[in-house]
Structure 1
Amino acid sequence: MKIIILGAGRVGQSVAESLVSEKNDITVIDTDARRLRELQERHDLRGVVGNGIDPAVLLDAGARDTDLLIACAAQDETNLVCCKVAQLVFNIPTRIARVRSSGFAFAGDDALLGKEGFGVDRIICPEESLTRYIGKLVQYPEALQVREFAGGRACLVSVRARAGAPLTGMQIATMRERAPDVAMRIVAIYRRFADEPDRFLPCDGATRVEPMDEVFVLAGRERVAQILSALHCRNGQPTRPVRRVMIAGGGRVGLRLARQLAHEQRFHIKVLEEDAERCMVLASELPPEVLVLQGDATDEDLLGGEGIEEVDLFLALTDDDEDNIMACLLAKKMGARRVLALINRRSYADLMHGTQIDIALSPAQAMLGELLAFVRRGDVQAVHSLRRGVAEALEIVARGDRKTSRVVGRRVEEIRLPAEVHMGLIVRGLPDPLAPAATAPGAVDAPPAGEPQVIIPRSSTVIESNDHVVFFLPHKRLVRDVERLFRVSATFF
């Protein structure tokens, strides 16, 4: 696929790094020649110096035969105008804009962003993606990651197995025997070894979950809390819910998150911000029950005075990776139950392996899946980038029939998946937007609508048309094989 990326900042660089690894033809536009040169030295891509709203610059970047434009420059206005120019002048089929302003999310009928407006097919907001993602981690405090599929009906969660938890030390086959009715499947285990990164272990019935394993589980949403508790909580005791939250950094992400948590009215929230003027802004925009404090999050006296030992979740969300790392290490040392550091540099995230930091979160990885869904071929509904972009979870819809599809009408054991690809679950019975009007709800010939089912596939399970199938892929290079299997042909023999 031929892709133009406008902006070589943190988001643009992360997007380019991920997409170029999949052998896409990438061109990056930026006004900073030095930044482009450094990006070209690291990756096999082309850089064009210039302003992305200039048609001549877009032409030089190859806009006439481009498949996808991702406008992620620093200014919302630049991104929106670039999408409009791409639509009117070059007719680029798919246009995505990074927009920070929340006002565009309420455009409603697409009059502002649609074909007659700015010509944007999809808006992405890394800050909003981060806020939603962290919100899930607050909801499930045992989890390291929570990713949703099928409109939230199914989840992929990762959790660090702890000694003494009911399922730790047990073989996967034994888990199935003891809870045959629980819709869950362990799709991957990453085992910790001394002085090296966690190592991927393929899962089968004989695989045993060991203490400190990072376990990836696919399950129906209603089972997530139960599964996390069974892998992480000693003696099956319920996890203490998150009530006291301390946020270091009152930037866009910190403000959004504090506002979101305050709206739920069940948290005690403190926000630490070093800049006095920003503290005034935060105090005016946040509800009065949120305590805004001016100070440095790496100040031991400040953390001690504000009761860091009673904090359930400490979040370091400043723009400085080093400050976030140091603040989390200090907070953990002083008694915070769980800490999360926002880290932009991939090399820093890798260094967090084996430290006291519970979660190292990359802003780009949190929203990358929203972009990857546009790059994937076939009817891909959701993509989530995992393990710092190495692995991937993919939701794809089965289409066609037994004559036109390699999967529809066939048992799972008949489908020739790559050995390392794990089919985790199937969601059946979701509304089909491609179905004929006659089958719409309320139509004369419409079948009775039922609640969608979350199915754990067995070897005898038959794939049906409109099934949403969720896969775990330990390596991104396997994506094309899965897409090829689900491609609908005019005839298939």
Structure 2
Amino acid sequence: QIGRKQVDVKRIMIVGGSGLGYETARLLEQDYQVTLVERDKDRCRLLSELLNDTLVIHGDASDIDLLREEGLEDMQVFIAVTANSETNIITSLMAKNYGVAKTIARVENKEYTYISQNIGVDTLINVKLIAANNIFRYVRKGRVEALTTLHGVEAEVIEFVVAKENRLTRKKLRDLHLPQKALIGGVIRGEETFIPNGDFQLQVGDKVIVFAMPEAIPAIEKMFR
């Protein structure tokens, strides 16, 4: 639900094919029509091999004509996760201007979060601040610290804490066999923040940010008990 208007989400555009962009597409392509725009040609080739049902486009995210050619005005959700915060905000504003109902932008500068309500971007994701903003507290069986929802997309953002040595700390992420409709989007370790790949290994005390569809949450909770 977006504001007071119910939006039927069918098509999603993602700009930025980094680890976060790839993992987001992998999660969403199972239930939505996803288009991913990435400027690096070699990365596009790799993404095309890794993703099963996502349309991967080689191009510059700031090229509004390209985005329109690829169906921007037919999208219900626009997710900007390039490495450049300004690009993410500007392209999200352009998407909103062309009628996209929900825009989500990744930012690195926490000051941007304070103006999000005024500039027209629906959601600003700052990996470091997801840990600090306990928007809702849930009493769950896992060591859950915070949970929020990406409105318009059914995925929930949950923060877990690795409380003790267990199989989570003994294996690389690729060997943990996460539920198919869940992904680890970020890890906060002390003052450092990571966008982990498959070779990453969790440690006790890590704060782990998980994006999960509702049906995957029970299995994720079980892993973090």
CA-to-partner distance for each residue in 1:214-259, whole Å, 9 max, x for gaps?
Answer: xxxxxxxxxxxxxxxxxxxxxxxxxxxxxxxxxxxxxxx77xx65x
Distance, in Å, in 2 between the alignment partners of 1:126 and 1:96 is 13
RMSD of the TM alignment (CA)? 4.0
Q: 2:204 aligns with which of 330, 350, 358?
A: 358
Counterpart in the other structure of 1:24: 32
CA-to-partner distance for each residue in 1:255-310, whole Å, 9 max, x for gaps?
Answer: xx65xxxxxxxxxxxxxxxxxxxxxxxxxxxxxxxxxxxxxxxxxxxxxxxxxxxx
User: Would you say 1:368 and 2:204 are equivalent positions?
Assistant: no
Q: CA deviation at 1:127?
A: 2.6
CA-to-partner distance for each residue in 1:64-103, whole Å, 9 max, x for gaps?
Answer: 2111100111111111111122122x31111111121122
SS of the residue corresponding to residue 61 of structure 2 reads coil
Q: 2:41 aligns with which of 14, 26, 33?
A: 33
Counterpart in the other structure of 2:68: 59
Aligned 1:140-155 pairs, distance under 5 A: 145-148=143-146
Give the 3 Å change call, closer, same or farther, for CA 359–51 of structure 1 in structure 2.
Answer: same
Q: Percent same amino acid among aligned pairs?
A: 21
Residues 69 and 94 of structure 1 are in contact (CA less than 8 Å); yes or no, is this contact kept in structure 2?
yes
Q: 2:216 aligns with which of 356, 371, 391?
A: 391
Counterpart in the other structure of 2:107: 99
* TM-score, normalised by the number of residues in structure 2: 0.64
Aligned 1:296-375 pairs, distance under 5 A: 317=192, 344-349=196-201, 357-358=203-204, 366=209, 368=211
Give the 3 Å change call, closer, same or farther, for CA 60–157 of structure 1 in structure 2.
Answer: same
Give the AA of the match of 1:368.
F
Can you give the 5+ residue segments of structure 2 that lack an aligned partner in the other structure? 1-9, 150-158, 180-187, 221-225
Can you give the 5+ residue segments of structure 1 that lack an aligned partner in the other structure? 115-119, 137-142, 163-189, 201-252, 259-316, 319-341, 373-382, 384-389, 393-471, 476-493
Aligned length: 181
Counterpart in the other structure of 1:121: 122
Give the 3 Å change call, closer, same or farther, for CA 79–367 of structure 1 in structure 2.
Answer: farther
Give the AA of the match of 1:146.
V
SS of the residue corresponding to residue 48 of structure 1 reads strand
Aligned 1:76-91 pairs, distance under 5 A: 76-88=85-97, 90-91=98-99
Give the 3 Å change call, closer, same or farther, for CA 145–345 of structure 1 in structure 2.
Answer: farther
Aligned 1:448-467 pairs, distance under 5 A: none
Which gives a bigger RCO, structure 1 or 2 (Cα 8 Å, sep 6+)? 2
Residues 163 and 205 of structure 2 are in contact (CA less than 8 Å); yes or no, is this contact kept in structure 1?
no
Distance, in Å, in 1 between the alignment partners of 2:143 and 2:46 is 32
Q: CA deviation at 1:18?
A: 1.7
Counterpart in the other structure of 1:13: 22
Distance, in Å, in 1 between the alignment partners of 2:142 and 2:204 is 8
SS of the residue corresponding to residue 74 of structure 1 reads coil
Residues 14 and 34 of structure 2 are in contact (CA less than 8 Å); yes or no, is this contact kept in structure 1?
yes
CA-to-partner distance for each residue in 1:462-489, whole Å, 9 max, x for gaps?
Answer: xxxxxxxxxx3x38xxxxxxxxxxxxxx
Distance, in Å, in 1 between the alignment partners of 2:19 and 2:197 is 9
Distance, in Å, in 1 between the alignment partners of 2:178 and 2:93 is 45
Q: CA deviation at 1:156?
A: 8.1
Q: CA deviation at 1:129?
A: 2.1
Which one has the largest radius of gyration? 1
